[in-house]
Amino acid sequence: MNNEQLVAKDLNYVWHPFTQMGVYRESKPIIIKKGRGSYLYDTNGNKYLDGYASLWVNVHGHNNKQLNRALQRQLKQIAHSTLLGSSNIPSIELAEQLVDITPQSLQKVFYSDTGSAAVEIAIKMAYQYWKNLDAIQYAKKRKFLTLHNGYHGDTLGAVSVGGIDTFHQIFEDLIFENIQITSPSLYQSTYETEETMTKAILEEIEAILQQQADEIVGFVIEPLIQGATGLFVHPHGFLKAVEQLCKQYNVLLICDEVAVGFGRTGTMFACEHEQVEPDIMCLGKAITGGYLPLAATLTSQRIYDAFLSDAHGVNTFFHGHTYTGNQLVCAVALESLKLYKQNHVIQHVQKTSKILHNHLHKLANHPHVGDIRGRGLMYGVELVADKATRQPLSIEKVESIIAECKACGLMIRNLEHVITFVPILTMSKKEIKKMVRIFTKALTTILD
Ligand SMILES: Cc1ncc(COP(=O)(O)O)c(C=O)c1O
């Protein structure tokens, strides 16, 4: 099939995620044919630098020989058998390694296949944990503390603990009620300094906990960076303070590291920046190096123990997905972890992060650049129509910039008027510079 035929069939048959198909229909869809290293290639022979790591998942580059071989090796053994009532070799080995590399509080691994599922599982586990401990004493614990503009996925539980107003409006009748806290994001706030903002928000949290801790199951948080809603970076120390409050008021800390985990912020897990030990941690996205869908919910021994019983059906966690712990997926994740060590991926990210930071900050005085924020290899540039009022740049202009980047060989995405730079973690220094260069030129072409 040539490009035109594929486009016609795409429009005829495929319903794309998070996409207004009426608009997509009028666009010229790019159809990806292959990937090599940091580049994607389309069916017209165009080559694009993958500046969004194929939705924040790719770590070692596309078509990595070592990951390919791991997949082929596993295929020769078996593709899939179930974890219900039996186990398998890669899922056991991977669980051991995940426990080894995550914060010490986490001792058990529950597999699933998407970040949303990992969060859904965390919510159900946390809720049931209190019921298993003492259904009468903790009868009122049924709400979660969440952050405004938080994003934890698209299943109904994950939407419930998210903080996106539009989603809450659309699915209002189907989701459950939670307690939403102000997001600690200075640029979006009216506070003058991070110190005053942090103090005020922590006081807000403590006041709620003082009054309602007996109704609160846990605090669900994206550690350090609220990614999918605009890359809102939290002040240093905020996560640690939340951890302390959770401990003090007997509320579980649930860290959603689906986006920030596996090196994205410059440490293997974002919690490490502040030596935070969550009760539950959700992992997904980059867990397989960006190859296959896998997610995991890790929990403390204390939580696991609350589900133990000698009798079937007593305190059991009634949750499971058909492909839980699939061998192919786990074998690739294991090989990916090997590559992290072999290629010193975290150290590489720490170096390239400085380059991304420095090159993006050269744009600080641009009249349409309102804010530049991020950590590691996860940056956002907020584009504004007016620097003083912070009024967002029009979506048409933002989309023109994205289209211009594509025309010049860079694939990046915007979150409303925030342009995101979330490249493949092993991208070279040269490629990082190239990414910012193409974006800078697109800014000039469209806005000057
Ligand atoms: C923090 C966070 N949690 C959960 C999810 C949902 O993951 P998935 O799209 O794999 O369901 C995402 C996706 O972007 C995310 O960023």
Q: What is the distance in A from the centroid of ligand 1 to the CA of 153?
A: 5
Check: CB of residue 273 under 8 Å from CB of residue 261: no
What is the model's pLDDT at position 28? 87
Beta carbons within 10 angstroms of residue 190's beta carbon: 6
- pLDDT beneath 50: ranges in the chain: none
Which residue's alpha carbon is at the smallest distance from atom 4 of ligand 1?
A: 152
SS3 state at 112: strand
User: Tokens 């959770």 map to which residue?
Assistant: 246
At what angle are helices 89-101 and 327-342 packed, to 10 degrees? 40
SS3 content of the chain, % helix, strand, coil (to 5): 45, 20, 40
Question: In angstroms, what is the span from residue 367 Cα to ligand 1's centroid?
Answer: 33
Q: What are the DSSP calls for 70-106, one per residue? A: HHHHHHHH-S---SSS---HHHHHHHHHHHHHS-TTE
Q: Is 180 in the pocket of ligand 1 (CB under 6 A)?
A: no
- In short, whether 114's Cβ falls inside 6 Å of ligand 1 is yes
In the prediction, which pLDDT does 167 show?
87
**Where are any strands of DSSP class E within 170-223?**
179-181, 216-221
In angstroms, what is the span from residue 88 Cα to ligand 1's centroid?
Answer: 26
Which element (helix H / strand E) includes 444? Answer: helix 429-447
Dist. CA 52–CA 35, nearest whole Å: 13
**CA atoms lying within 13 Å on the CB side of residue 136:** 0
Ligand 1 in contact with 284 (CB < 6 A)?
yes
285 is in an annotated binding site: yes
Q: Are 349 and 376 within 8 A, CB to CB?
A: yes
- Give the separation between CA 331 and CA 73, rounded to whole angstroms: 9
Contacting residues for 85 by C-beta, under 8 A, at least 6 apart? none
Which residue in the block uniquely carries the two structure tokens 């350090």? 224
Tell me how far the alpha carbon of residue 386 lies from the centroid of ligand 1, in angstroms. Answer: 32
| 283 pocket-lining for ligand 1 (C-beta < 6 Å) | no
For residue 366, report the distance from its CA to the centre of ligand 1, in Å: 32
CA 435 to each of CA 131, 145, 444: distance values in angstroms, whole numbers, following the listed order: 50, 37, 15
**What pLDDT sits at residue 185?**
95
Atom of ligand 1 nearest to the CA of 55: 14
> In 388-418, which positions are buried (b, 16+ CB within 10 angstroms) versus exposed (e)?
eeeebbeeebbeebbebbbebebbbebbebb
For residue range 75-115, list pLDDT tens digits in order: 999 999 999 999 999 999 999 999 999 999 999 999 999 99
Looking at residue 168, what is its pLDDT?
A: 86
Q: Which residues contact 67 (CB under 8 A, 6 or more apart)?
A: 60, 289, 291, 332, 335, 336, 339
Q: What is the pLDDT of residue 241?
A: 98
162 is in an annotated binding site: no
Closest ligand 1 atom to 222 CA: 1
- φ, ψ for residue 335, nearest 5 deg: -65, -35
C-alpha 267 – ligand 1 centre gap (Å): 19
**Ligand 1 close to Cβ of residue 163 (< 6 A):** no
Q: Which atom of ligand 1 is nearest to the CA of 116?
A: 11
Q: Is 348 annotated as a binding residue?
A: no
Annotated binding residue 321: yes
Q: What is the C-alpha to C-alpha distance for residues 67 and 424, in angstroms, rounded to an integer?
A: 15
State yes or no: 151 annotated in a binding site. yes
In 3D space, the residue among 375, 414, 365, 424 whose CA is nearest the CA of residue 393 turns out to be 414
Is the pTM of the predicted complex or chain greater than 0.75? yes
